[in-house]
C-alpha cells in the first residue's frame, strides 16, 4: 500500500483546507471510488525526525506514528490511507470525514463554547483516542482544538496531526507543539 505509484494517479487534489508550519492540507478524492480524502504535504526542508518500524524501515515520525496508531484500528484516530515520498516533500493521504470541522471551528459556530452535554461527549471520545495512543506506545504531544475533528452531524471525534508526537518514554528533554 505504501510507496505506490505517484499519488496523482490515484487521487485528485481539491481546495486548500489548512496550512501550518510543516506543510499544508488539501481536500481530495480517491479516483477509484470517489472517497473524500485529505492530502497533506509535509516539507522535507524542515528537520524531520524518523523512526524505524519493522516491515517499513525508516519513516518520518509523523507517518510512523500514524501507522502505529492505525495498526489496531481506533475509530477516534484519523486513518492514514496511503503515503508517498517525493523529492521535496512527503504526501500523506488521510481519511476525510464529512461533514466535519475542527473543534475550534465547531466551538465558534456554537457561540464560542459547548454545552456540557457536547463537551462531555467530545472529551470522552478524546480520552478514548489518547488511551488508544498510549496503548500503542504513542504520545501525541500536540492535543489542541485545531487537531481534533468533529463530525458535525454525529459529534464523532477524530484525533489527527501526529507531527509533534513521539514514542512514549520515561522522560522528555525537549518541547513539542505550539
Residue 58: name the closest of 106, 9, 2 by CA.
2
> CA-to-CA distance for 55 and 53, rounded, in angstroms?
6
- Taking CB atoms within 8 Å and a gap of at least 24, the contacts of 26-31 are 27/96, 28/93, 28/96, 30/81, 30/93
What does the DSSP 8-state code read for residue 78?
P
> CA-to-CA distance for 163 and 21, rounded, in angstroms?
10
Report helix, strand or coil for 72.
Answer: coil
Which position among 33, 82, 102, 142 bears the catalytic label? 142
142 is catalytic: yes
- As annotated, the active-site residues are 142
Amino acid at each position: 500500500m505504501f510507496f505506490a505509484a505517484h499519488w496523482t494517479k490515484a487521487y485528485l487534489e481539491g481546495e486548500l483546507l489548512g496550512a501550518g508550519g510543516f506543510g499544508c492540507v488539501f481536500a481530495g478524492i480517491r479516483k477509484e471510488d470517489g472517497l473524500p480524502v485529505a492530502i497533506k504535504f509535509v516539507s522535507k526542508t524542515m528537520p524531520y525526525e524518523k523512526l524505524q518500524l519493522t516491515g517499513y524501515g525508516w519513516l518520518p515520525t509523523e507517518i510512523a506514528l500514524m501507522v502505529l496508531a492505525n495498526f489496531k484500528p481506533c475509530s477516534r484516530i484519523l486513518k492514514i490511507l496511503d503515503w508517498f515520498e517525493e523529492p521535496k516533500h512527503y504526501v500523506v493521504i488521510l481519511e476525510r470525514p464529512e461533514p466535519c470541522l475542527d473543534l475550534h471551528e465547531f466551538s465558534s459556530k456554537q457561540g464560542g463554547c459547548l454545552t456540557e452535554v457536547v463537551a462531555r461527549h467530545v472529551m470522552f471520545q478524546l480520552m478514548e483516542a489518547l488511551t488508544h495512543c498510549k496503548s500503542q506506545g504513542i504520545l501525541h504531544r500536540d492535543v489542541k482544538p485545531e487537531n481534533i475533528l468533529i463530525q458535525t452531524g454525529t459529534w464523532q471525534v477524530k484525533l489527527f496531526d501526529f507531527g509533534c508526537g513521539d514514542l512514549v518514554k520515561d522522560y522528555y528533554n525537549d518541547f513539542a507543539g505550539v
